[in-house]
Amino acid sequence: MKYHTAPGDPLPHCAVFSVTTLTRRFPEPATVPAGALWVLVSGQGVAIRDGDIPQIYAESGPSPAVPVTGPVEYLGHRGTTPCYAAELPEDIPLPEGRVIVGVRELYGRIPDEDVAIAAFAVRMIASAKASRFCGRCGTKTVPVLTERAKRCPACGLVVYPRISPAIIVLITRGEECLLARSPRFPNGMHSVIAGFVEPGETLEHAVHREVKEEVGLVVKNIRYFASEPWPFPDSLMIGFIAEYAAGEIEIDNNEIVSAGWFGRDALPPLPAPMSISRALIDRWVERGNLRH
């Protein structure tokens, strides 16, 4: 388990998708070494060897029976062993004994470290596919072996994997917290306010703007909580806790379809435990329990 704890805070956040068990060694190998581990990617999932203890790694990579038509991406070293991601073609049978499982569905079935690597593999394959051609001149890009990037051999543009910063904030008012529903959520589920940071904004400005836009409230005393690389598809979630300052709830009926104040003993269905949104709510609940 990988924990991130603010100074003086005994209640940690487990950043499930933080890749801490791979070390990046640059320059990366010019060719894939023998004995490398592979994560075989298909869409938003990976091909696992199913069983009592599912396994995301393949000790032999793509072969004539499992050809690769898409990118191959160096992920890093797992101990002394290099690890790669490759995309499986959609129109061929899976390797024997393997099934495709979405990254979210892997949570709780395999160690968090492997969930993070599976998500990272999916993310890097998607990034490679999105940067195959230069956005400035259209030339096919080539890998940069000395860092995680692609370079245009014609105009020299260097493209790095996209990271989209987003704020996520728990708002408290006395012994209540604000929870809201997005139209994308499963039936009944509520969560905290979140949104992407816009160009020219600070993180704090983004908190104020998103809260005002989505639920019409003014907040104060914004405090950093923790962060989480959220690979759906490329967010970095930066978590905060804030206090209600003024205003009445006015939902935007776009990002939010309902919102309300909830006490600790009357919470609605919540996000999955793997999420930073759930970590924010759990932290607030547990902090309240510590006072009693």
Chain-centroid distance, C-alpha 59: 26
**Hey, do 3-130 and 164-290 end up sharing a CATH topology, with the first three levels equal?**
yes
Indicate the helix (H) or strand (E) that contains 124.
helix 112-130
**256 within 8 A of 180, measured Cβ to Cβ:** yes
**DSSP classification of residue 128:** H
CB within 8 Å of 94: residues ≥ 6 apart = 47, 88, 100
Binned at pLDDT 50, 70 and 90, residue 236 comes out as very high
Per the model's pLDDT, the better-predicted residue between 246 and 288 turns out to be 246
**DSSP bridge pairs for 218:** 246
Using one digit for the tens of pLDDT, what is the confidence trace for 69-89? 678 999 999 999 999 999 988
Residue 166's identity, in one-letter code, is A
Mean pLDDT of 24-36: 90
Q: Which CATH architecture has domain 164-290?
A: Alpha-Beta Complex (3.90)
User: Domain map of the chain by residue range?
Assistant: 3-130, 164-290
Using one digit for the tens of pLDDT, what is the confidence trace for 209-219? 999 999 999 99
Chain-centroid distance, C-alpha 233: 7
What global pTM score does this model have?
Answer: 0.89
Task: Answer whether residue 291 shows pLDDT above 60.
Answer: no
Using one digit for the tens of pLDDT, what is the confidence trace for 271-286? 999 999 999 999 999 9
Q: What is the pLDDT of residue 31?
A: 87
Mean pLDDT of 114-126: 96
CB within 8 Å of 244: residues ≥ 6 apart = 171, 172, 173, 178, 217, 218, 219, 220
Binned at pLDDT 50, 70 and 90, residue 11 comes out as very low
- CATH node for 3-130: 3.90.79
Q: What is the pLDDT of residue 292?
A: 42
Backbone angles phi, psi at 272, to 5 degrees: -65, 150
